């Protein structure tokens, strides 16, 4: 076999015509540890401090979006309604940036409603995601978790009294009323709270190798109306159970689920200049892409089975209460 000259093989290598790295002037110096970082980073690769990114450098950055824990405070990127004119390739590009399924993104665009498409851990990261969408001609807004304040649901109502020019709201389990002028009733949001409860009994094993002996699952749902005045960011909530529907007068029926629909229509007619949102049930599958359902597991402790055996009981509940509150408050913040 004939050997090539030691330098002959170099002739067959492709010539690099582009600089695949970043120029020195494009690098970002960390103000904390003074080390240089590539302009694709939001936080220092070495010490984790937030980097100061110029407008010119923002074009390199890709948001590192991740699923936040329930207790974490984040910033929500809300896509505003647009015409669904994107081809599959563009949808796939946008979906990769947002780290979401392209099928879900397609449905969100087709829905033509303001809906969350990402939740970032920092405002800067949310703004970069917002800029990425703008590069595709998509307008969006950033709303913080603090503004949505899902931990504090709207104040529950026990009853309502209608007058020609105002509403009297009667708070649940309180000797307190709130007056809202007819012209100040700004937003009415209808929806429902769903809850699934799973009770399970397991054999108790010190090694942790438990086996499920029995499991019971129950589900419930309850219709909801949220009411906001122009000056109120927290709002008031009507739940079908425990509400006095006497305000419906002769229209009041036997079933609470029918009465709450009638009440929603009456409120809508009462405040024709207010905004009425009744699409929660249609969009909640898209909301779950960013705002996940609440899940909580509680142990019922050990239960004796005979003389020496013990079983372990636990209850898991899943509900959409905070998701509904976020959606309701989102529309309040968009007024």
Task: Identify the pLDDT of residue 17.
Answer: 52
Mean pLDDT of the chain: 87
pLDDT digits over 97-140, tens only? 999 999 999 999 999 999 999 999 889 889 989 999 998 999 99
Range of lowest pLDDT (13-17, 41-45, 262-266): 13-17
Tell me, what's the pLDDT at 245?
97
pLDDT grade for 319, boundaries at 50, 70 and 90:
very high
Question: Between residues 138 and 209, which one has the greater pLDDT?
Answer: 138
Q: Would you list the domain boundaries of the chain?
A: 28-61, 65-148, 185-333
Are 166 and 179 within 8 A, CB to CB? yes
CATH for the stretch 65-148: 3.30.1390.10
Please report where in the chains the tokens 């629909």 appear, as a residue: 261
Lowest-pLDDT range of 12-16, 30-34, 56-60, 135-139: 12-16
Contact 195, 318 (CB under 8 A): yes
Share of the chain above pLDDT 70, in %: 84
**Confidence class of residue 1 from pLDDT cuts 50, 70 and 90?**
very low
Cα–Cα dist 98/105, whole Å: 9
CA distance 332 to 232: 9
Task: Give the residue, 187 or 289, on which the prediction is more confident.
Answer: 187
Contacts of 24 (CB under 8 A, 6+ apart): none
pLDDT of residue 21: 63
DSSP, res 250? G
* Predicted local confidence at residue 283, as pLDDT: 95
Would you say the C-alpha torsion 234, 323, 219, 204 has a positive or negative sign?
negative
pLDDT at 58: 65
Percentage of the chain lying above the pLDDT 90 cut: 60
Q: Tell me, what's the pLDDT at 34? A: 87
pLDDT at 167 over 80: yes
Structure tokens at 142: 């950033």
Question: In degrees, to the nearest 5, what angle opens at C-alpha 173 toward C-alphas 172 and 174?
Answer: 90
Q: How far apart (Å, rounded) are the C-alpha atoms in residues 274 and 54?
A: 41
Give the separation between CA 76 and CA 123, rounded to whole angstroms: 9
State mean pLDDT over 239-245. Answer: 95
Joined together, the tokens standing for residue 108 give 């969100």
Rounded distance between C-alpha atoms, residue 90 and residue 53, angstroms? 27
How would you label 275-300 residue by residue, b for 16+ Cβ within 10 Å and e otherwise? bebeebeebbebbebbbbbeeeeeee
Q: Helix (H, G, I), strand (E, B), or coil: what is residue 32? A: coil
pLDDT category, 18, cuts 50, 70, 90? low
Model confidence, pTM: 0.80
pLDDT of residue 269: 96
What 8-state DSSP symbol labels residue 164?
A: S
Decide: 189 and 226 in contact? Cβ < 8 Å. Answer: yes
Q: Give the confidence band of 216 by pLDDT, cuts at 50, 70, 90.
A: confident
Write the secondary structure of 61-122 as one string of H (helix), E (strand) and C (coil): CCCCCCCCCCCCCCEEEEECCCCCCCCHHHHHHHHHHHCCCHHHHHHHHHHCCCEEEEEECC
**pLDDT per residue over 181-201, tens digit each?**
999 999 999 999 999 998 877
Lowest mean pLDDT among 149-153, 247-251, 294-298: 294-298
- State how far the Cα of 8 lies from the Cα of 275, in Å rounded to an integer: 76
* Cα–Cα distance for residue pair 54/136, rounded to 1 Å: 21
């Amino acid at each position: 076999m004939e050997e090539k000259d030691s330098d002959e093989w170099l002739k067959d290598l492709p010539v690099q015509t582009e600089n695949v790295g970043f120029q020195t002037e494009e690098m970002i110096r960390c103000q904390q540890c003074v080390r240089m970082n590539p302009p694709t980073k939001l936080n220092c690769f070495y010490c984790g401090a937030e980097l100061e990114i110029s407008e010119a450098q923002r074009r390199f950055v890709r948001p590192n979006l991740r699923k936040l824990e329930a207790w974490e405070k984040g910033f929500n990127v809300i896509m505003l309604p647009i015409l669904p004119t994107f081809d599959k390739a563009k949808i796939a590009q946008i979906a990769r940036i947002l780290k979401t399924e392209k099928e879900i993104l397609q449905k969100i665009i087709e829905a033509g409603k303001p809906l969350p498409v990402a939740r970032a851990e920092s405002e800067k990261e949310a703004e970069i995601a917002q800029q990425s969408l703008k590069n595709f001609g998509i307008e969006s807004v950033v709303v913080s978790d603090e503004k949505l304040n899902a931990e504090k649901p709207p104040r529950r109502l026990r009853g309502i009294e209608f007058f020609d020019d105002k509403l009297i709201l009667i708070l649940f389990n309180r000797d307190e009323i709130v007056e809202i002028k007819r012209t100040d009733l700004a937003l009415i949001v209808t929806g429902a709270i769903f809850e699934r409860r799973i009770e399970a009994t397991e054999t108790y094993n010190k090694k942790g190798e438990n086996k499920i002996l029995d499991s019971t699952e129950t589900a419930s749902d309850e219709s909801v109306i949220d009411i906001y005045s122009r000056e109120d960011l927290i709002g008031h909530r009507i739940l079908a159970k425990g509400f006095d529907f006497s305000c419906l007068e002769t229209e009041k029926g036997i079933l609470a689920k029918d009465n709450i629909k009638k009440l929603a229509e009456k409120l809508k007619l009462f405040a024709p200049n207010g905004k009425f949102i009744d699409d929660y049930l249609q969009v909640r599958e898209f909301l779950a892409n960013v705002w996940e359902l609440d899940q909580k597991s509680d142990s019922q402790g050990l239960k004796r089975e005979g003389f020496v055996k013990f079983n372990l009981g636990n209850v898991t509940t899943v509900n959409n209460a905070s998701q509904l509150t976020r959606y309701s408050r989102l529309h309040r913040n968009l007024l």
